[in-house]
Amino acid sequence: MFRLKRLRGLDTNLTILFIILVLVVLVLTAFLPGKFLTGRNLKSMAFQFPEFGLLALAMTLAMITGGIDLSVIATANLTGILSALIMTHYITPDVSGSFSALIIVIAIFIALLSAVVCGLVNGFLISFVGVPAILATLGTMIFYSGIGMAITKGIGVVGFPDSYLAIGSGTALGLPIPLIIFIVVTAVVALILRKSSFGMNMYFVGANPIAALFSGININFTILKTYMTTGLLAGLSSVVMISRFNSAKVGYGDTYLLQAIVVAVLGGIDPYGGYGRVIGVVMGIFILQALQNAFTLFGFTPYAKGLIWGLVLIMVMIINFITARYQERARISRMLEDRRFNNGVGNDADAVAP
């Protein structure tokens, strides 16, 4: 019943998103002939957006449960610093290739494990302590950034082995490795949301926590697992990010936080929870990346970009609010029509009854 009620609105949102995506591509192609829709530029975008796309997916999961994760960037930076320190400390010029590969695997594992722990802290504060998600993750964002700053003293950790740098700049099967990682992770997240009990529980918790509680869903455990998953996605993003930058530092990707929220809302994720699909978020990522790339080609300053993203977020929220009100009025109108029709049929039947 829950899915049937949302189906029509979801299809409408996806259709609108697809039309916006096509219009953005056509307009940018017209205004940037020979620059935007070229193989070189598309390949460049394929290397750039996956790290941000993984953070947007993390934000999506948090918002589906009715929360938000403001600490995804800080988590990514902290876990990236930890893995970078392991590689730069233990991989030296005289280390063999097999041992170097083992250290890289250990560094990636530590990054993902520490990211899950960061998510666990967020989930514990929200679910068991009862701190609102926006306050809990705001606090941990500052805390994780502070840990990273204390470890590095604001200095970037640089000098990774070439085999690790291939993650962010290499190709496989003719496709950028970051793009392959993003495609695989996106498919897994979509399957979790649509086919697993954990995914359905996330939707129910976001849509109506009281009803979810009386349905036998462990709300606290669901929220805890959700934020552990968002942490894992942030850790994956850090692996791609620092391998592409060849350095790890506090403050990388700060602009991604606002953009991740913009993409989630643009992709049809309800900020109140319980509503949205991964395909909408993916289209939102493509739209945002196309605009981001166009801003770079036009030579916009970072300050102008921040202003534009803020305006986009406000506009998207206004449009979503108006659309939701229109759909709710249409739903009520249909219910009233059905009721009048059923009452009319009942009266006719009574009139002809012997």
Written as one string, the DSSP assignment of 154-187 is TPPEE---HHHHHHHH-EETTEEHHHHHHHHHHH
Which among 177, 212, 182 is positioned nearest to 197, based on CA atoms?
A: 212
Distance from C-alpha of 156 to C-alpha of 2, rounded to nearest angstrom:
48
Query: pLDDT-derived band of residue 30, with 50, 70 and 90 as boundaries?
Result: confident
**Lookup: tokens for 281:** 């978020």
Res 169: pLDDT: 87
**Using one digit for the tens of pLDDT, what is the confidence trace for 311-348?**
777 777 777 677 767 766 777 777 777 677 666 655 54
1 has pLDDT over 50: no
The mean per-residue pLDDT over the stretch 285-297 comes to: 84
What residues does 41 pair with on adjacent strands?
none
What is the rounded average pLDDT of the residues 157-177? 88
pTM (predicted TM-score): 0.84
Separation of alpha carbons 281 and 193, rounded Å: 13
**DSSP-derived secondary structure for 25-89:** HHHHHHHSTTTSSSHHHHHHHHHHHHHHHHHHHHHHHHHHTT---TTHHHHHHHHHHHHHHHHHH
What is the tally of helices (H) and strands (E) in the chain?
13, 4
**The pLDDT value given to residue 24:** 84
Mean pLDDT over residues 284-308, rounded? 79
pLDDT the model gives residue 6:
47
Q: Which of 127-131, 158-162, 188-192 has the lowest mean pLDDT?
A: 158-162
Asked whether 257 and 147 are in contact (CB, 8 A), the reply is: no
Closest Cα to residue 154, out of 252, 79, 234? Answer: 252
Q: How far apart are CA 46 and CA 52, in angstroms?
A: 11
Question: What mean pLDDT, rounded, does the chain reach?
Answer: 84
**Domains of the chain, earliest start first:** 2-31+41-334 (1.10.3470)
**What is the secondary structure of 229-290 as a DSSP string?**
HHHHHHHHHHHHHHHHHTEE-TTTTTTHHHHHHHHHHHTT--TTSS---HHHHHHHHHHHHH
The mean per-residue pLDDT over the stretch 59-82 comes to 94
Measured over the CA atoms of residue 336, residue 337, residue 338 and residue 344, the dihedral's sign is positive
- Is the pLDDT reported for residue 167 higher than 70? yes
Q: Per-residue pLDDT tens for 132-164? A: 999 999 999 999 999 999 998 888 888 888 888
Which residues have C-beta within 8 Å of that of residue 156, sequence separation ≥ 6? 247, 248, 249
* Top-confidence residue, 163 or 235: 235
Nearest Cα residue to 28 out of 290, 216, 277: 290
pLDDT at 59: 94
